[in-house]
Structure 1
Amino acid sequence: MTTALVTGANRGIGRHLAKQLLERGATVYAAARRPETLDLPGARPVALDITDPDAVAAAAELAGDVDLLVNNAGISTGAQLLGDLDGVRAEMDVNFWGTLAMVRAFAPVLAANGGGAVVNVASALSWFAAPGAGAYAVSKAANWNMSNALRLELAGQGTQVTSVHLGLADTDMARGLDAPKTDPADVARMTLDAVEAGAFEVVVDDWSAMVKASLAQDPRAFYARFLPA
C-alpha cells in the first residue's frame, strides 16, 4: 500500500491529491506551512515550509515510510524579471529550490522503501512565458527540467519521476482570472492515474498540449499573441 507525502495539501490541487490518495487506500502525510488549515480526515498533518532546510529534514525523518513524494507546493507572486527581484527570488526559492530540497531529502527514504515515485507539479508555463508571469514561468521551466534531470539521477534506485503540466485550475491561485479552468479534482485524478501507469509527464489540458507542441515551431508565431502588432 502506498504511503505518500503531499506538500501544499491544505488547498487547491494539493488537497485533492491528498484526498484522492486517501480514497485509494494510501497512508497520507498532508504537509502545509500552517497545518491547522488542513481539513483531511485520516491524513497525518505535517508542518512544513519547503524553503526551511530544518523543516524539510524533520519531515523526511518523520515520514520515513514514504514511497510517493508529491511536490505540489508552489507560489505565484506576479513578479517580473525586471521588476521586484525579491519576488523573483521567492518564486525560485519555492518552485525550484524548495522542490529540489524535498527530493534531495526524500531520495534516500524512497530508495530504502523500494524506489517509489516523485511527482512534481509544474505548469504549462514551463514551456512559455506570458505577461504578468515572468518569474513564475522561469521557475516552472526550471522545475520541469529538474524533473527530467532527476529522472536520470534517480533511475539507478528505481524511483519514477512524473512532471505535471496544466493551464489554469479552479483554485485560489487563479481566482479572478477570466479563462477556462480545470477542476482540480480532475488534475489530481489524472496525475495519480499517470503515476500508476508509470508516465513521465501529465499534460492535463488542450492548452498545455498546444503549448508543448508549439516548441517545435518558430516561436514568433506563438508569441505574436502577446507582442504589440
Structure 2
Amino acid sequence: MLFSDHVALVTGANRGLGRAVAAALIAAGAKKVYAASRSGDPIGLEGTVPIRIDVTDPETVRAAALACPDVTLLINNAGVAGFSGPISAPSMDTARHEMEVNYFGTLTTTRSFAPVISTNGGGTIVNVASILAYGPIPQVGTYSATKAAVLSMTQSLRGELAPKNIQVLALCPAFVDTDMIAKVDQPKMTPEDVANALVEGVIAGTEEMFPGPSAGMAAAFRADPKGYERKIINFLA
C-alpha cells in the first residue's frame, strides 16, 4: 500500500492517539488526512483538513461522508473509557455511554464510509480495539466489553467487505500514554509509537496489530486463556 495514493479520515483526531495517527499518516505520505472531532476545529497539523464528526450523532457522520467523498482509509479511533466494573459502577450510564461511542460509534462511521471507500475502488478500515478485548480487567470491565465488541465486529466486517476490496484491520494496543488513562500507574507506549505501528500494519495488511507489550499479552492469552484470565483478575487489585 502506497499512502500517496490514499486519503484518510481519522476520528477523535483532536488529541492523543488520534492526533498522533494523523501525524503519522501525513509523514507516511498520505495525500490528505481529514481530522475528525466533535468540534470540527483545526488540530494544528499541516496536511490535515478539519471535519466535524460526533460518532454518537449519525447525522454528523452522514454529513461528513458526503463532505469527504475521496476517503479510501478510515481510522475508527474515537473512544471513551469510564473505568468502572460491570457491578461496581453506581449505574449503567457509563456502560451505555462507552458502548454508544466505542461500538455503535465505530459501526455508524463504518456504515457511512464503507460505500465511499468502495466507490473509490476499495481501501482500508482500521478499528482501534484494545488488548483488553482479549483479557478484560474487572476495574475497566465495561470498557473491555466494548472493545471485545469492536474486535468481533471487525472480524465480521472483514468477510462482509472483502468482496468490495476493503480490508478491515484491528489495532489492539495495551496502555497508551494519553489523557484517557493518565491516572493508570502502569507502563505505557507513546501515542507516536502506536501510530507508527498502525501505519506499518496498514502497509503490511496485518489483520490484528499488537504494538509493543500487547504482542506478548496476546501470545500469553492464546497459549493459556484460563491462566491468563486468572492472572488478569488480580491486575490493579
In the superposition, relative to structure 1, how do residues 225 and 9 fare at CA in structure 2: closer, same or farther (>3 Å)? closer
> Post-superposition shift, 1:213?
3.3
> Post-superposition shift, 1:220?
4.5
In the superposition, relative to structure 1, how do residues 171 and 218 fare at CA in structure 2: closer, same or farther (>3 Å)? closer
Residue in structure 1 matching 2:24, options 17, 20, 27? 20
Alignment of 1:23-172 (within 5 A): 23-26=27-30, 27-36=32-41, 38-82=43-87, 83=89, 84-172=91-179
Separation in 2 of the partners of 1:71 and 1:197?
A: 18
Separation in 1 of the partners of 2:103 and 2:228?
A: 29
Tell me which amino acid in the other structure corresponds to 2:203.
Answer: E
| Consecutive unaligned residues in structure 2, runs of 5 or more | none
> Post-superposition shift, 1:212?
4.6
Tell whether the 8 Å contact from 1:111 to 1:158 is kept in structure 2 after alignment: yes
What TM-score, normalized to structure 2? 0.91
In the superposition, relative to structure 1, how do residues 188 and 35 fare at CA in structure 2: closer, same or farther (>3 Å)? same
Residue in structure 2 matching 1:184, options 191, 194, 214? 191
Tell me which amino acid in the other structure corresponds to 2:186.
Answer: A
Tell whether the 8 Å contact from 1:127 to 1:212 is kept in structure 2 after alignment: no
Separation in 2 of the partners of 1:56 and 1:79?
A: 28
CA RMSD, aligned part only?
1.8
Tell me which amino acid in the other structure corresponds to 1:43.
Answer: T
> Post-superposition shift, 1:218?
4.8
* Matched residue, 1:11: 15
In the superposition, relative to structure 1, how do residues 104 and 204 fare at CA in structure 2: closer, same or farther (>3 Å)? same
Runs of 4+ in 1 over 6 A off after TM superposition: none
Tell whether the 8 Å contact from 2:13 to 2:36 is kept in structure 1 after alignment: yes
Separation in 2 of the partners of 1:157 and 1:15?
A: 29
> Post-superposition shift, 1:60?
0.7
Separation in 2 of the partners of 1:159 and 1:209?
A: 29
Q: Secondary structure at the match of 2:66?
A: helix
Q: Secondary structure at the match of 2:121?
A: coil
What TM-score, normalized to structure 1? 0.94
Separation in 2 of the partners of 1:72 and 1:222?
A: 26
Deviates more, 1:167-176 or 1:209-218: 209-218
Tell whether the 8 Å contact from 1:32 to 1:38 is kept in structure 2 after alignment: no
Tell whether the 8 Å contact from 2:135 to 2:221 is kept in structure 1 after alignment: no
What percentage of aligned pairs have identical amino acids? 42
Deviates more, 1:16-25 or 1:86-95: 16-25
Tell me which amino acid in the other structure corresponds to 1:167.
Answer: A
**What is the number of equivalent residue pairs in this alignment?**
229
In the superposition, relative to structure 1, how do residues 100 and 218 fare at CA in structure 2: closer, same or farther (>3 Å)? closer
| Consecutive unaligned residues in structure 1, runs of 5 or more | none
Deviates more, 1:165-174 or 1:64-73: 165-174
Tell whether the 8 Å contact from 2:172 to 2:208 is kept in structure 1 after alignment: yes
User: What CA deviation, in whole Å up to 9, does each residue of 1:48-81 have, x standing for no partner?
Assistant: 1001010010011111100000000000012322
